[in-house]
Amino acid sequence: MTVSAGYGLKLAVAAGAPVRVADAVMDRLAVPVHGEDVHAPFLLPSAVRPPGDPGQRQRFEPRNMAFTDGLDRWELAGSFLDAGRPHWQDYSRAAADETAVLASAVPQPSGFAVLFQEIYADDYRGRTVTFRGQLRTTGVAGQVGLHLAAGRPVDRPGEHLRDRGGSSLTGPGSSDWTWHDVTMPVPGDADVIRFGISLAGRGRIELRNPELSPARPGTRE
């Protein structure tokens, strides 16, 4: 069975199977583990707490929103991964000074990229949520903006969720720091919420002060 690297790692952790990774990949992509439980980031809620456990329900809140731990908890995905090995590095990501950066790494990148964080939707099902943050763009040739989606995960790199999503898009060119927001209802059967920034084509987008919260009464989708 062919699956994405993320699902493969989760399966390996759950099964106790060894994972072999090239030193060059570890040097470039590895992130530190915080806390003593190295398995926790890979396990689903049912594995963390047995079904039917009457104990307090686990909460799933956004983490590392000020990027003080670099890009820990943030992932890079997008349709450019479907274009094959020559395009797997068409986009780059970074974090510094409490700001996340998503940028094209080649003059004509393939598809689009999304830098996002994913949380379980348990605390937000049936509610309307708003994702907001300040954006700054440089030399953008296509569309960029905030990204917010909720639904069920799929195992294809270019497709984010099987359910609905929304964007707060800004046009080509460059712009100084400006607040943006996107609001949408979370379906009652949603498993996860993904939020972050997206970039299609050449350019650079920066994000600071991101917030995910229940929408204020009367906020339009």
* pLDDT tens, residue by residue, 155-213: 444 444 444 556 667 778 899 999 999 999 999 989 899 999 999 999 999 999 999 99
- CB hemisphere CA count around 95 (13 angstroms): 20
The residue type of 201 is G
pLDDT the model gives residue 57: 44
Pair (79, 21) in one structural domain: no
Is pLDDT larger for residue 36 or for residue 129?
Answer: 129
Contact 215, 128 (CB under 8 A): yes
Look at residue 18 and tell me if it is in a domain: yes
DSSP assignment letter at 187: P
pLDDT the model gives residue 136: 95
Query: The CATH number of the domain where 163 resides is what?
Result: 2.60.120.260
Residue 24 banded pLDDT, cuts 50, 70, 90: confident
pLDDT the model gives residue 85: 76
15-25 average pLDDT score: 86
Cα(219)–Cα(81) distance, integer angstroms = 35
Pair (90, 160) in one structural domain: yes
pLDDT the model gives residue 54: 44
- Checking if the pLDDT of 93 tops 70, the result is yes
Domain extent, residue 97, equals 63-214
Is pLDDT larger for residue 130 or for residue 33?
Answer: 130
Highest average pLDDT, of 31-40, 74-83, 160-169, comes from 74-83
Contact 20, 12 (CB under 8 A): no
Look at residue 220 and tell me if it is in a domain: no
pLDDT the model gives residue 211: 96
Cα(41)–Cα(65) distance, integer angstroms = 17
Of 35, 53, 71, the position where a domain reaches its end is 53
Sheet of 173-185: strand order equals 91-96, 99-104, 204-214, 128-140, 173-185
Look at residue 159 and tell me if it is in a domain: yes
Query: Comparing C-alpha atoms, which of 105, 191, 95, 209 is closest to residue 151?
Result: 191
Contact 19, 52 (CB under 8 A): no
Instruction: Give the list of residues 6+ apart from residue 74 with CB closer than 8 angstroms, or none.
Output: 64, 67, 93, 95, 100, 115, 116, 117, 196
Pair (125, 42) in one structural domain: no
Q: How many domains does the chain have?
A: 2
Pair (200, 107) in one structural domain: yes
Percent of the chain with pLDDT over 90: 48
Pair (96, 174) in one structural domain: yes
Pair (35, 137) in one structural domain: no
pLDDT averaged over every residue in the chain? 82
Cα(90)–Cα(81) distance, integer angstroms = 9
Length of the chain, in residues:
221
pLDDT the model gives residue 87: 84
